[in-house]
Chains A and B, each alone.
Chain A
């Protein structure tokens, strides 16, 4: 008899648990810190309603047709709910800035050493592609610099292929003197502007 009552009590508990609100509603958004620890911002827009997520409110949930509301998400829940997606994240793209000798497509001695970092980075990736964008300073005509910047990018591409990378995964372009790193007047010798920006991803 006592056992029967106990059984009913257990049954009631199970029923209560089944009726309890799930912890999170059907749609859930959670902000995560960046690589440098900063938290960004996402606005949940539903028709005319906007709900801003930022460092003060880092997560919200809603049901279809329902209101967006703040929710606290425990760290272990992030792992339970998002572990699969988190483990599949591609490595973040990485930028390398290399400088050139004046009016040439040869890297400075310092940048030749930094160039090796590109290969180290590529080795860490399951799949790579590379974007090389060449730039010049403002010495010389815009026309000349458009060609020089492309020549610098193409030279890096050739060097990458020479070291075994696949050419169809490398895009090389030149931006001439259109995208200065350090703003200068025309006809200014500025070593920091003579560069390629390499993105490995």
Chain B
């Protein structure tokens, strides 16, 4: 009993760290001017940067960036965009959870992952005037200022 608990504890550790800790995904593509705002600080974005819940990705006139999240969903933003993942709960053993991506302005290309597969509608994208409940899988969103 003790060893199974230990095994489960070891097995669960990295994922628990991912789920509770800050990191929810990675920046996989970055081109042109892109910044990440976290706690009021803006940092130039680079490929491989870990993404945290609430980080705001802002792209310039020539900028674009792409992210892969822990549930294997992906999204990317075109120029003059402002986007953040405001909610992200994901259990990698049940492959279930919920997420809310917030597109304040600009363009978004998104493909759903385990969260939408496990529970259609659990992946959501918010625009200034509506919420998109995603059943699957690939879609584009534009918010013009």
Q: Chain A: residues with CB nearer than 8 A to chain B?
A: 24, 26-34, 38, 40-46, 53, 62-66, 68, 78, 81-93, 125-127, 129, 131, 142-143, 146-147, 149-150, 171-176, 178, 199, 201
Contacts and interface: CB of A to CB of B under 8 A. Distances in A.
Given A24-B142, A34-B137, A85-B76, A44 B18 contact: no
A-side binding surface: helix, strand, loop or mixed?
A: mixed
Contacts of A53: 139
A28 B93 CA distance: 35
Given A26-B143, A89-B29, A199 B7 contact: no
Interface string B10-38: 11101100100000001111010000000
A81 B141 CA distance: 10
Given A40-B112, A81-B107, A85-B76, A27 B26 contact: no
B145 to A, nearest CB: 8
B119 interface: no
Given A45-B130, A64-B128, A146-B7, A88 B135 contact: no
B42 interface: no
Contact of A201 (B72, B120, B134, B143): B72
Given A43-B121, A88-B65, 9 more contacts: A27-B144, A28-B144, A29-B132, A29-B139, A46-B130, A85-B140, A88-B76, A89-B74, A90-B74
Contact of A43 (B29, B72, B133): B133
Contacts of A63: 129
Given A30-B140, A201-B72, A82 B132 contact: no
Contacts of B3: 143, 147
A38 B138 CA distance: 9
A174 B133 contact: no
Contacts of A174: 7, 11
Contact of B139 (A42, A87, A89): A42
Contacts of A41: 120, 135-136
19 contacts: A27-B143, A29-B142, A31-B138, A34-B111, A34-B137, A53-B139, A62-B130, A63-B129, A84-B78, A85-B106, A90-B66, A92-B111, A93-B68, A126-B28, A127-B47, A129-B26, A131-B92, A143-B3, A173-B92
Closest 3 CB pairs of A and B: A84-B78, A85-B78, A40-B136
